[in-house]
Amino acid sequence: MMNLRHLLALLGLLSLLATARAYFVTIDAHAEECFFEKVTAGTKLGLAFEVAEGGFLDIDIKIFSPDGKIVHEGERESNGRYTFPASMDGVYTYCFSNKMSTMTTKIVMFSMEIGDESKADKDAANTEGEGSSNKIEDMIRELSAALSGVKHEQDYMEVRERIHRSINDNTNSRVVLWSVFEALVLVAMTIGQVYYLKQFFEVRRVV
């Protein structure tokens, strides 16, 4: 019986992890990007984000409910994680705004997590299930949230590592080009000095 419960717990964990999706978006200066999720009332929604590149690594964020009301609003945030239950059926909107930036483009990495059961379904499962299975489900949800956070951090660190590697490669290329330019300048100056000194010490014969 315990093995069956463990199997059900593993399947539940996999189904929870499958609902977490990671995205990368480039937001130009004076621009705004919005994303949408259609859910039913009682569904648990989660948003985690990091500004990976651009300016002071800040972005404005707004979350709207289906009736147009603001669920969450933040200004010039570098990262964040927000979780809330859907209060009604419909489309919830996540908007990242870079309108405060005059020139800098921002790269934002974010993940959207969606619960796999509504509040009514959860209550029905609680009345029919045993107390031990409810505890396992709670542990699965906590583990799922923790793993999603770890995955988000890993993705963020991968992006930062890729950006830093690109910056280092560009810097190394510029250093090499500058060194070659300096060498050419030194060679040209040496040839010019030799030619000048040769002309200066040259004895001209008068016929």
Enumerate the domain spans of the chain: 2-161
pLDDT tops 50 at residue 4: no
> What is the rounded distance in angstroms from the CA atom of residue 73 to the CA atom of residue 108?
16
- Which string of b and e fits 161-172 if b means at least 16 CB within 10 Å? eeeeeeeeeeee
Quote the pLDDT of residue 2. Answer: 42
Lowest mean pLDDT among 8-17, 27-36, 149-158: 8-17
CB 52 within 8 A of CB 46: no
For residue 97, the model assigns a pLDDT of 95
Whole-angstrom Cα distance, residue 119 to residue 86? 10
Report whether 84 contacts 45 (CB < 8 A). Answer: yes
The beta-carbon contacts of 75-82 under 8 Å, at least 24 apart in sequence, are 75/100, 76/100, 77/51, 78/50, 78/51, 79/48, 79/49, 79/50, 79/51, 80/47, 80/48, 80/49, 81/46, 81/47, 81/48, 81/49, 81/149, 82/46, 82/47, 82/48
Contacts of 110 (CB under 8 A, 6+ apart): 22, 23, 25, 47, 48, 49, 50, 94, 96
pLDDT at 95 exceeding the cut of 90: yes
Q: Are 157 and 50 in contact (CB under 8 A)?
A: no
**Sorting pLDDT into bands at 50, 70 and 90, what band is 134?**
confident
Q: Specify the pTM.
A: 0.59
pLDDT at 178: 93
Q: Where are the alpha helices (DSSP H) in 64-130?
A: 119-128
CATH superfamily of domain region 2-161 = GOLD domain (2.60.120.680)
Residue predicted with more confidence, 16 or 204? 204
Q: How confident is the model at residue 7 (pLDDT cuts 50, 70, 90)?
A: very low
| Per-residue pLDDT, 21 | 58
The pLDDT of residue 16: 46
Task: Point out the least confidently predicted range of 18-22, 36-40, 133-137, 168-172.
Answer: 18-22
Beta-strand pair 32-39/70-77 = unpaired
What pLDDT does 62 receive? Answer: 94
Say which DSSP state 160 is in: H
In three-state secondary structure terms, 53 is: strand
Q: What is the pLDDT at residue 8?
A: 47
Per residue in 140-175, pLDDT (tens digit) is 777 876 777 677 677 777 777 877 787 788 888 889
Predicted confidence (pLDDT) at residue 34 exceeds the cutoff of 90 = yes
